[in-house]
Chains A and B, each alone.
Chain A
Amino acid sequence: METEISGMDNPAMTLDEVSMERNKSFVKALQELKNLRPQLYSAADYCEKSYLHSEQKQMVLDNLKDYTVKALVNAVDHLGTVASKLTDLFDHQNSDISTMEMRASCVSQQLLTCRTYIDKEGLRQQQLLAVIPLHHKHYILPNSVNKRVHFSPLRRTDTRQNHYQAISRLQPSDAPASKSLSWHLGSETKSTLKGTSTVAPSSKDSKAFSKTSGVFHLLGDDENIANKKPLAGSQVSGVPAASTAHKDLEVPKLLTAHRSLDNNPRREIIQAPVRTKSVLSAFFVKQKTPKLKAGYVS
């Protein structure tokens, strides 16, 4: 028994070897229990014959009692050993089955994950076919904005945007850089164009449009002048200094006016005349561009 226990506790043995060792020990104990029965039968026959043929029956009877007790204890011991080994074997079989179930669950989970990945991949490929036209529309959109950007002076007083507008007016319209510039402008002015398109002038706003158009016409002209002023002042040398100083004083007022208009909750109604201002300012731009070009050339 000690050699079996030391053999099963050896860590160098693999799982199959340990299981085989347990099976061997159980079979061995069961065989010993099976061999106990003929031994008991033979001992019973010997005791019976000796009791019948011996003259010292009391002594034979005492020996028979002792042997019976020892045989019973031995049988109980063998039965206990066999039962213990069988229970141990059952426990290890249950453990092995649990391990196998866990591995099967792992394989099943891997299959499920693989199937989910395949489904997602197929869905993504199908969604790509539907997404491509959306990208195509996205790249067409700045070209439509490009025309409006050239003819719509925006009310924004951002110096960077004024710089872009000045560059777009100075550069020829068919230049290759104008596309990228218009794309940037389109991406920047997209939000403002959306605001103006949502607030298209209706018949109800026509009166307000007629009332406010004059005011914003002047503002737009002043703004155009203010926007063009640094360019003209920096590149044209024949401009009087007094008029430039007077216009420099007007520019902050206009800026404050625009800021107050931006903060006005009725901004949507006021933004509608910007398109008429842009048309008129486009005429002014056409009239003034030769001067600017002449000044830029000089």
Chain B
Amino acid sequence: MPVIPWNWRRVTTVTVLMSLVFLDITASSGNRETTFDVVRRTAESVFIPLTVGGGVRSVDDFDRLLRAGADKVSLNTAAIADPALLTAAGKRFGAQCVVLSVDARRCPAGTSTPSGFEVTTHGGRKGTGIDALAWAVEGVERGAGEVLLNSMDADGTTSGFDTELIERVRALVSVPLIASGGAGAPEDFPVAVRAGADAVLAASVFHFGEMSIQDAKFALEGEGFPVRRHNVPHV
């Protein structure tokens, strides 16, 4: 499930993907209308699940994105600032479309949380002191139907997923868990799934052509994990 940056337009090739995630990481203010428009046009032409996140602050934003055709909306900073937003969104739209995105890292020296992991904001640059594991549990209790777990320690390293983090969150939550951060090689994917992830997410390794989505799928299949194959003729 690659994260697709906003400038991405080649919708013709996406049928081999299993799911699309749009994280508009620069859109904290930005032009919101453009966001809704891109979501709408994508939903009209791409018939796979579409998750949208970034800059979502209210139930109203949520509503507009779902109406534009998103299947799920992911909440990160806004949920930390206002956890009641998860509850309200879960109640109104159903847990299946509420994704809690958690940017977690090991507590830096001099700080601590009960689990040893803390929630960060601003792309991992700012610590919040909130226990990342307890936050994932609270988020699910409040109404999130899926947890997108981003390891800020592993992110960008291409040295593999943070399996300790995945295992510990898996032990605590019983909703689908998507692991993100650290993928560098096809064989990293089955490792994350074995650690307890229901799905794996990678971005830059696909964008820069270092590895194809097919490579990742073959690696998962080789270890006996079922993946979707693309062998249906075009309609």
Q: Do A and B bind each other?
A: no
